[in-house]
């Protein structure tokens, strides 16, 4: 959830650290800091707020040193201020940390008795003093090995030492960490995105491993301190996808990229000539699978819910879904004939990873639907279905959501076909319809003027509701999540049929309510639910698909009509206005759309 960078070079590193930290800000942005080693001293600068603030507050050009570490923070222990910002340093050790040290209170007590003085409220500071303590009686590698064994919890660490001035130590348990290789310099980073402008040669550390990075050498060790060899991966270097281009925000760009996301997904998985779906190297016999459990967090969980409707519609499989943070601690009945699918854009979400790990430890069949194919979840699942949507930088997930639901729909169709649960003519028709989607999404994107006008009402209201039934229910949840995440207004997603069981009490005069009522099998029921909220004073924004038939209701405040396609695929089109509604609400309020308050893109802590 925080971002880490480290550079060991033959030239000054502060400028490169700053530009990498700017890329890492999607992981956390409440404070930032750098430490460099120069002439036998650790020089540390840090401040509350963004990397820009750090740049404004300090003369970073004069921060000398050919070795350094940097950090952007998403606070866990201690409020976001400059004291709690990383790096944290003792007289001879400086540390940047992503993760949570669960036994920090006990360690702090122990270290205090040894005379260590703590300055911050963070758990990270115990790591600094523990290493300092262990270095008193151990050589470097032994001291690191011992320290890591004493730490409970999760971490990715970057460490520099005043008295060992030519190296950085990196260590990983539970939080991602990568090493990059450059000419006469080497790097440590939370992810390849931060390193990509400097190198395309990367090695990912696995849990329990640590490394020593010098400007001309990188050594890897396992948790017992034994030297190990690791593979170097070559990444594709498409820098343009990391650029906002002419867009004001990454989110705006990512919304507009959705036709391409879907086109790419179709290209990867659909055999247009034979109207078939290709899922290569599926590692299990289809008869071994009788049920599927889908697991994710946030938007990815909404994708799981969406998939449940499709799988149940198209196959006879038993489908369960779960929020990863619940699944990982429940007493699950693991079943050999269940396929566990983990959905995650980043592939690094701590709870989703822990749920996958639990399934792997129980020898279950695991599959990952991810965007980042070098991620921990992608690497540790038995089988991976990439969504291929390119980097998603805006904290609010948009194109990754469409990418995830596309792949899950494709999988549902394929399994239905393999299990002979779908008529082949219908199967092929549905595949043909899929290919119409990119074009229809493009048309659905042309609603900016309408949505801009509507968005003010949502900003001015105390709260709003998003209602849908069937396939539109997950989209209602997703629409509400987008609005609260970006505009900081209360928004609740609900199954429209549940309103009369409690939430109807919230409806009052002028309250904006989004009703998703495509003309599918739920249409009439949803329209009745809509009447019930209108009768109680709600200002209804109806989102439906185009039709010659009139909508049998008066007093609808606004209507948006999306294009027509078969019912299965309408959720793709219904999502677009909701993404734009959230975007324009936040834009009007002047909020930081790509970095909403209190959040981070990749949630690598529990």
- Active-site amino acid positions: 2, 601
Token representation of residue 31: 């404070």
Which residue has the closest beta carbon to ligand M6R? 298
Binding residue (CB under 6 A) for ligand M6R from 408, 467, 573, 603? 603
CB under 6 A: which stretch of 108-116, 141-149, 298-306, 459-467 binds ligand M6R? 298-306
- Rounded least distance, CB 432 to ligand M6R, Å: 30
Q: How many residues in the chain? A: 606
Site for ligand M6R, residues 466 to 485, rule: CB under 6 A: 481, 485
Among 135, 178, 300, 389, binds ligand M6R (CB under 6 A): 300
Rounded Cα distance between 540 and 135, Å, is 66
CB of 301 to ligand M6R, least distance (A): 8
Distances in Å between the Cα of 292 and the Cα atoms of 279, 304, 335, 420, 526 are 17, 11, 10, 17, 29
Output the six-digit token pair for 595.
């970095």
Question: Rg (Cα) of the chain, in Å, rounded?
Answer: 26
Determine how many CB atoms are found less than 10 A away from the CB of residue 11.
11
Q: Which is nearer to ligand M6R, 74 or 161 (CB)?
A: 74
Task: List the one residue from 84, 90, 94, 299 that touches ligand M6R (CB under 6 A).
Answer: 299
**Residue 484, Cα to own-chain centre: how many angstroms?**
17
Nearer to ligand M6R, 481 or 562 (CB): 481
Among 90, 261, 293, 352, binds ligand M6R (CB under 6 A): 352
List the one residue from 171, 177, 262, 297 that touches ligand M6R (CB under 6 A): 297
Asked if 396 is part of the footprint of ligand M6R (rule: CB under 6 A), the reply reads yes
Q: How far is the CB of 396 from ligand M6R (least distance, A)?
A: 4
Question: Which range, of 231-239, 344-352, 469-477, 587-595, touches ligand M6R by CB under 6 A?
Answer: 344-352
In the list 45, 198, 395, 410, the residue contacting ligand M6R (rule: CB under 6 A) is 395
DSSP bridge pairs for 539: 512
User: Which of the ranges 36-44, 177-185, 339-347, 545-553 carries the binding residues for ligand M6R, by CB under 6 A?
Assistant: 339-347
CA distance 208 to 206: 6
Interacting positions 480-509 with ligand M6R (CB under 6 A): 481, 485
b/e 251-280 (16+ beta carbons within 10 angstroms → b) = bbbbbbbbbbbbbbbbebbbeeeebbbeee
Angle at 141 between CA 140 and CA 144, to 5 degrees: 85
Beta carbon of residue 481, minimum distance to ligand M6R (angstroms, whole number): 6
**Rounded Cα–Cα distance for residues 405 and 397 (Å):** 12
* CA 172 from centre of chain: 19
Of positions 36, 175, 344, 444, contacts ligand M6R by CB under 6 A: 344
Q: Which residues contact 491 (CB under 8 A, 6 or more apart)?
A: 458, 463, 464, 465, 466, 479, 480, 481, 483, 484
Q: How far is the CB of 393 from ligand M6R (least distance, A)?
A: 12
**Distance between CA atoms of residues 220 and 169, nearest Å:** 10
Q: 180: which strand partners?
A: 187, 202
Task: Give dist(CA 19, CA 198) in Å, integer.
Answer: 10
The residue with tokens 């758990």 is 123
321 binds ligand M6R (CB under 6 A): no
3-state secondary structure (DSSP) of residue 99: strand
- The CB-of-245 to ligand M6R minimum distance in angstroms stands at 21
Q: What is the C-alpha separation between 364 and 357, in angstroms, rounded?
A: 10
Asked if 179 is part of the footprint of ligand M6R (rule: CB under 6 A), the reply reads no
Is there a contact between 494 and 516 (Cβ–Cβ < 8 Å)?
no
Cβ at position 207, least distance to ligand M6R in Å: 18
Of the candidate residues 16, 31, 261, 349, the single one contacting ligand M6R (CB under 6 A): 349
Stretch touching ligand M6R by CB under 6 A, among 67-75, 127-135, 296-304, 511-519: 296-304
Give the binding range for ligand M6R (CB under 6 A) out of 390-398, 527-535, 547-555, 587-595.
390-398
Of the listed pieces 393-401, 405-413, 508-516, 547-555, which binds ligand M6R according to CB under 6 A? Answer: 393-401
Contact between 478 and 578 under an 8 Å Cβ cutoff? The reply is: yes
Q: Which of 76, 66, 61, 89 is nearest to 31 (CA)?
A: 76
Cis peptide upstream of residue 87 (ω within 30 degrees of 0)? yes
**Cβ proximity to ligand M6R, 296 vs 518, nearer residue:** 296
- In whole angstroms, the minimum distance from the beta carbon of 247 to ligand M6R comes to 18
Closest distance to ligand M6R from the beta carbon of 191 (Å)? 12
Which residues are at the interface with ligand M6R (CB under 6 A)?
A: 297-300, 344-346, 349, 352, 395-397, 481, 485, 602-603
């Amino acid at each position: 959830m925080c971002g880490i960078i480290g550079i060991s070079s033959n030239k000054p590193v502060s400028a490169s650290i700053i530009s990498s930290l700017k890329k890492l800000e999607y992981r956390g942005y409440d404070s930032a800091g750098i430490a460099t080693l120069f002439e036998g001293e650790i020089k540390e600068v840090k401040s509350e707020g963004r990397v820009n603030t750090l740049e404004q507050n300090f003369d970073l050009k004069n921060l000398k040193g050919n070795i350094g570490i940097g950090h952007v923070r998403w606070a866990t222990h201690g409020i976001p201020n400059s004291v709690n910002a990383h790096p944290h340093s003792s007289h001879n050790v400086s540390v940047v940390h992503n993760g949570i040290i669960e036994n920090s209170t006990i360690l702090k007590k122990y270290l205090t008795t040894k005379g260590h003085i703590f300055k911050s409220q963070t758990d990270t500071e115990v790591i600094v003093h523990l290493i300092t303590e262990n270095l008193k009686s151990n050589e470097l590698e032994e001291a690191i090995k011992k320290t890591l064994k004493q730490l409970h919890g999760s971490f990715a660490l970057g460490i520099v030492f005043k008295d060992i001035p030519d190296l950085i130590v990196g260590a990983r348990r539970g939080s991602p960490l990568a090493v990059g290789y450059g000419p006469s310099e080497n790097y440590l980073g939370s992810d390849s995105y931060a390193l990509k402008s400097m190198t395309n040669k990367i090695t990912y550390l696995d849990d329990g491993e640590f490394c020593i990075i010098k400007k001309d050498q990188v050594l890897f060790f396992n948790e017992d301190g034994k030297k190990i060899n690791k593979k170097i991966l070559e990444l594709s270097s498409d820098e343009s996808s990391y650029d906002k281009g002419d867009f004001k925000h990454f989110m705006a760009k990512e919304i507009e990229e959705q036709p391409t996301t879907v086109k790419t997904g179709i290209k990867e998985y659909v055999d247009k000539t034979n109207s078939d779906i290709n899922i290569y190297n599926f590692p299990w016999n289809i008869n071994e699978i009788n049920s599927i459990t889908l697991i994710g967090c946030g938007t990815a969980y909404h994708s799981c819910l969406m998939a449940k409707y499709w799988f149940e519609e198209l196959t006879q499989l038993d489908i369960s879904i779960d929020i990863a943070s619940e699944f990982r601690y429940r007493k699950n009945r693991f079943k050999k004939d269940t396929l566990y699918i983990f959905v995650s854009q980043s592939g690094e979400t701590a709870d989703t990873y822990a749920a996958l790990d639990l399934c792997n430890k129980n020898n279950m069949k695991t599959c990952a639907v991810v965007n980042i194919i070098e991620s921990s979840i992608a690497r540790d699942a038995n089988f991976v279905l990439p969504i291929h949507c390119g980097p998603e930088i805006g904290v609010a997930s948009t194109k990754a959501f469409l990418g995830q639901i596309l792949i899950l729909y494709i999988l549902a169709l394929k399994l239905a076909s393999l299990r002979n649960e779908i008529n082949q003519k219908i199967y092929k028709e549905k595949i043909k319809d899929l290919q119409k989607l990119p074009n229809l999404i493009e048309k659905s994107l042309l609603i900016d003027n309408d949505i801009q006008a509507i968005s003010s009402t949502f900003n001015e209201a105390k709260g709003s509701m998003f209602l849908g039934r069937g396939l539109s229910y997950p989209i209602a949840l997703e629409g509400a999540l987008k609005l609260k995440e970006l505009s900081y207004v209360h928004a609740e997603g609900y199954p429209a049929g549940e309103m009369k069981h409690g939430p109807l009490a919230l409806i009052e005069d002028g309250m904006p309510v989004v009703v998703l009522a495509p003309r599918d099998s739920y249409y009439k029921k949803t329209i009745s639910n809509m009447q019930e909220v209108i009768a109680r004073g709600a200002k209804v924004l109806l989102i439906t698909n185009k039709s010659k038939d009139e909508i049998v209701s008066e007093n609808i405040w606004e209507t948006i009509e999306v294009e027509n396609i078969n019912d299965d695929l309408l959720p793709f089109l219904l999502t677009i206005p909701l993404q734009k509604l959230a975007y324009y609400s936040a834009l009007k309020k002047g909020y930081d759309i790509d970095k909403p308050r209190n959040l981070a893109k990749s949630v690598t802590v529990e």
